[in-house]
Amino acid sequence: MRTSAKFTVTAATAAAAALALTACGSSSSSTSSAGKADQPLVVVASPTPHAQILEYIEKNLAAKAGLKLQVKVVTDYVTPNTAVQDGSADANYFQHVPYLDDFNKTHGTDIVSVETVHLEPLGLYSNKVKSVAALGNGATVALPNDATNEGRALKLLADNGLITLKAGAGAKATPADVASNPKNLKWKELDAAQLPRSLSDVDAAVINGNYALDAKLNPAKDALVLEKAANNPYANILAVKKGNENDPRVQKLAQLLHSPEVKKYIETTFSGSVIPAF
């Protein structure tokens, strides 16, 4: 999942995508899970890496597991949840739990997580120093300026000893929540997509894994420090409408998403910009 700055889409875009999904999936939405056992599992996903991972499963693993999988690719972050809620899709794969919780609260939906799958990790990058220790007094660090990722960025710095945060700062922390700053770091808040381009102008920048990949950075090799996948609340999930968690098709997909083959595919395809969270 990319930055929260991209969550807003036009109603027309979402509506058009929802209509397309309804056309392909509405015939199965009114039947029970048992009645749909022989029908394709319709999963709505973002293009990268979510749909790529699902398409790998569809081509290489699904048939052997007895799963018919239909992947619907959308580029907005509203349609996947509305389609699952209204039954025109069976599941989605594009979001992390903090976003899902906020969406459910805002839209009155009841979508739940089935399994965590992968993390698109934030990393600290620099063109000027080779280690966190080498950051000098008064160094300028660029941060993503959206609510979801700025707090993540500050937590990454805190987890690696550069700063401490005020008690209870939480996921939406901002520079105002920095309790101690031994290196007197200065902050430059930018749109997440601009952060790779800022590396020549700042001492370091915290960059999302997907944007790092777009900028030809290799998170596993180039990041000074990198988020860990284990127990990370921002790991992306397979999600369904509440009550459909035990649909046999959903369970088969969840098992395949956690398979050794998918883990290897993620690791070899995305070069550390996407990390298995299982």
Residue 75 in this model has a pLDDT that exceeds 90: no
- The class level of CATH for 4-120+232-276 reads alpha beta
Closest CA relative to residue 163, chosen from 132, 190, 191? 132
Residue 94 pLDDT: 92
DSSP for the chain? ---GGG----HHHHHHHHHHHHHHHHHHHTS-TGGGTTS-EEEEE-IIIIIHHHHHHHHHTHHHHT--EEEEE-SSSSHHHHHHHHTSSSEEEEEEHHHHHHHHHHHT--EEEEEEEEE---EEE-SS-SSGGGPPTT-EEEEE-SHHHHHHHHHHHHHTTS-EE-TT--TT--GGGEEE-TT--EEEEE-GGGTGGGGGTSSEEEE-HHHHHHTT--HHHH-SEE---TT-TT-EEEEEETT-TT-HHHHHHHHHHTSHHHHHHHHHHHTTSSEE--
Q: Is the pLDDT of residue 2 over 70?
A: no
Q: How confident is the model at residue 33 (pLDDT cuts 50, 70, 90)?
A: low
> For 135-171, what is each residue's pLDDT tens digit?
999 999 999 998 778 999 999 999 999 999 999 998 8
Write down the pLDDT at residue 7: 37
Mean pLDDT of the chain: 88
Give yes or no for a cis peptide into 196 (omega within 30° of 0): no
pLDDT band at 20 (very low <50, low <70, confident <90, very high): low
pTM: 0.73
Tell me if 4-120+232-276 shares its fold with 123-226: yes
What's the topology of domain 123-226? Answer: D-Maltodextrin-Binding Protein; domain 2 (3.40.190)
Whole-number Å distance between alpha carbons of 202 and 161? 20
Residue 21, pLDDT score: 56
Check residue 226 and give its pLDDT: 94
Query: What does the pLDDT read at residue 12?
Result: 41
Per-residue pLDDT, averaged over 86-105, amounts to 94
Q: From CA 141, how far away is CA 125, in angstroms rounded?
A: 9
Of the given ranges (4-8, 45-49, 260-264), which has the lowest mean pLDDT?
Answer: 4-8
CA angle 116, 120, 122 (to 5 degrees): 130
- Average pLDDT score over residue span 112-116: 97
Structure confidence at residue 220 (pLDDT): 85
Mean pLDDT of 207-215: 83
Residue 113's DSSP bridge partners are: 239
Do 192 and 186 touch, CB atoms closer than 8 A? no
- pLDDT higher than 90, residue 99: no
The amino acid at residue 215 is A
What are 92's two structure tokens? Answer: 């989605």
Q: Is the pLDDT of residue 98 over 90?
A: no
| Confidence at residue 22, expressed as pLDDT on a 0 to 100 scale | 47
What is the residue extent of each domain of the chain? Answer: 4-120+232-276, 123-226
How, if at all, do strands 69-73 and 164-165 pair?
unpaired
Distance CA 240, CA 71 (A): 14
Q: Are 120 and 53 in contact (CB under 8 A)?
A: no
